[in-house]
Structure 1
Amino acid sequence: MEVHQCVSFLLVTSDQVLLETRTMDKASDPGMIAIPGGHMETDETQKQTLARELEEELGIRALNSQYLCSLYHPTSELQLLHYYVIFEWHGEIQSLEAESVNWYPIGNAPVAVEADRLALKEYQRLAAVLGKFSDC
């Protein structure tokens, strides 16, 4: 089975994370609440995908980002999701591709995708161990 590389991003402020409600016409996970992200294009790096997807999905630019983890997500295709954490960004957050975007408490974020739940738990684990998750 072909693996489709994707980049997902956790925008974090205080103890809140920004999640999207996906539109019903999406091929992967329609209508679900999920961490935003998108597919990597041919010859694109993870950081290039991150920058492009932030602009396409939310109309913002990251001022910093930190790699978190990579997890497989079997959906209509097998995806390998590379998660990044973003604490600072430039621009006003807009919902340009999703039905909506909303802030949720990290501890009980209503994500429907198991990989997203694991990524949020990994963020919480590292934040507890390090005292504060930040650029290393």
Structure 2
Amino acid sequence: MQIHECVSFVVLKDQQVLLEKRAQDKEYDPNLIAIPGGHMEHGETREQTLFRELKEELNIVPTNYLYLCSLYHPTGELQLIHYYVINDWEGTIVSLEADEVSWFPLHTNPLDIAADKIALSEYLRLRSVLE
């Protein structure tokens, strides 16, 4: 089975996380609440994907980020999602691909995707070390 690598970004501000409501016409996970991200393109590094996808999805450029973890997400394809924490960025957040993006409390959020829930739990578990 082919593995499709993706990068997702845990964007944080004031004890809140930015989540997206995926568009209805998305091939995978339509209408679900998720951590934003996207597929790696052939020949791209994870960091290149991070910068490209943040610009394409949210119109921002990260100025402070770090790798968090990688998790498998079995959807219509098997995805290996590489999660990054984004603490600072340049630009104004705009939802360019999702139906909408909204801020939610870190501890109480409506995430629908199991891998995203695990990644956010991992961030909370390691938060004191990561900050």
How far 1:73 sits from its partner (Å)? 0.1
Moved runs in structure 1, 4+ residues, more than 4 A? none
| TM superposition score normalised by structure 1 | 0.94
**Aligned residue in 1 for 2:109:** 109
Residue 94 (structure 2) pairs with residue 88 (structure 1): no
How far 1:95 sits from its partner (Å)? 0.4
**RMSD between aligned residues:** 0.7
1:27-106 matched pairs, under 5 angstroms:
27-106=27-106
**Aligned residue in 2 for 1:7:** 7
Structure 2: which 5+ residue stretches go unaligned? none
**Aligned residue in 2 for 1:16:** 16
**SS in structure 2 opposite 1:52?**
helix
**Aligned residue in 2 for 1:120:** 120
| TM superposition score normalised by structure 2 | 0.98
Structure 1: which 5+ residue stretches go unaligned? none
- Structure with greater strand share of residues: 2
- State the alpha-carbon separation in 1 of the partners of residues 66 and 108 from structure 2: 22
- State the alpha-carbon separation in 1 of the partners of residues 24 and 125 from structure 2: 32
Q: Which residue identity does 1:82 align to in structure 2?
A: H
